[in-house]
Amino acid sequence: MAVTPWGPDFGRLARQDPELAGIILSELDRVAGGLQLIAAENFTSPAVLAALASPLANKYAEGYPGARHHGGCEVVDIAERTAQDRAKALFGAGHANVQPHSGSSAVLAAYAALLRPGDTVLAMALPHGGHLTHGSPANFSGRWFHFIGYGVDPATGLIDYEQLRGLARAHRPKAIVCGSISYPRHPDYAAFRAVADEVGAYLIADAAHPIGLVAGKAAPSPVPYADVVCATTHKVLRGPRGGMLLCGAELAERVDRAVFPFTQGGAQMHTVAAKAVAFGEAAAPAFTAYARRVVANARVLADGLAAEGLAVVTGGTDTHMITADTSPLGLDGRTAKARCAAAGIVLDTVALASATEPGGRVRGLRLGTAAITTQGMGPPEMERIAALVGTVVRDEGVVREKVAELAGRFPPYPDEGRIVQPSEGVGRL
Ligand SMILES: Cc1ncc(COP(=O)(O)O)c(C=O)c1O
308 has binding-site annotation: no
d(CA 118, CA 125): 18
324-346 residues labelled b (16+ CB within 10 A) or e (exposed): bbbbeeeeebeebbebbeebbbb
Cβ(377)–Cβ(403) under 8 Å?
no
Q: Do residues 117 and 166 make contact, with C-beta atoms less than 8 angstroms apart?
A: no
- On the CB side of 139, CA atoms within 13 Å amount to 17
What is the rounded CA–CA span in Å between residue 36 and residue 367?
9
DSSP state of 4: B
Is 183 considered catalytic here? Answer: no
Let me know: does 393 contact 329? Beta carbons within 8 Å: yes
Rounded-to-integer distance, Cα 147 and Cα 149, Å: 6
Any catalytic annotation for residue 290? no
Terminal CA-CA length for the chain: 22
Cβ(102) to ligand 1 under 6 A? yes
H-state helical runs in 41-159: 46-52, 74-91, 103-114, 140-144
Q: Which atom of ligand 1 lies nearest, measured to the CA of 209?
A: 16
For residues 340 and 187, give the distance between their C-alpha atoms in angstroms, rounded to a whole number. 30
Known catalytic membership, residue 77: no
pLDDT of residue 360: 61
Active site residue 363: no
Residue 120 makes CB contacts below 8 A (sequence gap 6+) with 145, 146, 147, 148, 171, 172, 173, 174
Report the distance separating Cα 104 and Cα 305, nearest Å: 31
Closest ligand 1 atom to 181 CA:
16
Tell me the C-alpha distance between 127 and 353, whole Å.
Answer: 6
Which residue among 99, 101, 232 is best mutated to probe the pocket of ligand 1, counting the most ligand atoms within 8 A of its Cβ? 232
Ligand 1 in contact with 208 (CB < 6 A)? yes
Sheet holding 311-312: strands in order across? 311-312, 321-325, 362-368, 348-352
Report the distance separating Cα 426 and Cα 12, nearest Å.
11
Domains, the chain, in order of start with CATH, read: 33-42+285-413 (3.90.1150.10), 52-282 (3.40.640.10)
Mark whether 241 is an active-site residue: yes
Catalytic residue (one of 9, 62, 77, 383): 62
Annotated binding residue at 427?
no
**pLDDT for res 417:** 47
- Could you tell me which residues are beta bridge partners of residue 243? 232
Report whether 131 belongs to an annotated binding site: yes
Q: Is 160 exposed, middle or buried (0-12, 13-18, 19+ CB in 10 A)?
A: middle
pTM of the predicted model, to two decimals? 0.95
DSSP per position, 255-267: HHHIIIIII--S-
Task: Indicate if ligand 1 lies below 6 Å from the C-beta of 103.
Answer: yes
Confirm whether residue 126 is marked as ligand binding: yes
Residue 241 burial (C-beta neighbours within 10 Å; 0-12, 13-18, 19+)? middle
pLDDT values of the chain reduced to their tens digit, one per residue, 429 residues = 344 555 557 888 888 999 999 999 999 999 999 999 999 999 999 999 999 999 999 999 999 999 999 999 999 999 999 999 999 999 999 999 999 999 999 999 999 999 999 999 999 999 999 999 999 999 999 999 999 999 999 999 999 999 999 999 999 999 999 999 999 999 999 999 999 999 999 999 999 999 999 999 999 999 999 999 999 999 999 999 999 999 999 999 999 999 999 999 999 999 999 999 999 999 999 999 999 999 999 999 999 999 999 999 999 999 999 999 999 999 999 999 999 999 999 999 999 987 666 666 788 999 999 999 999 999 999 999 999 999 999 999 889 999 999 999 999 998 654 444 545 567 767
Q: Residue 133 carries which DSSP code? A: G
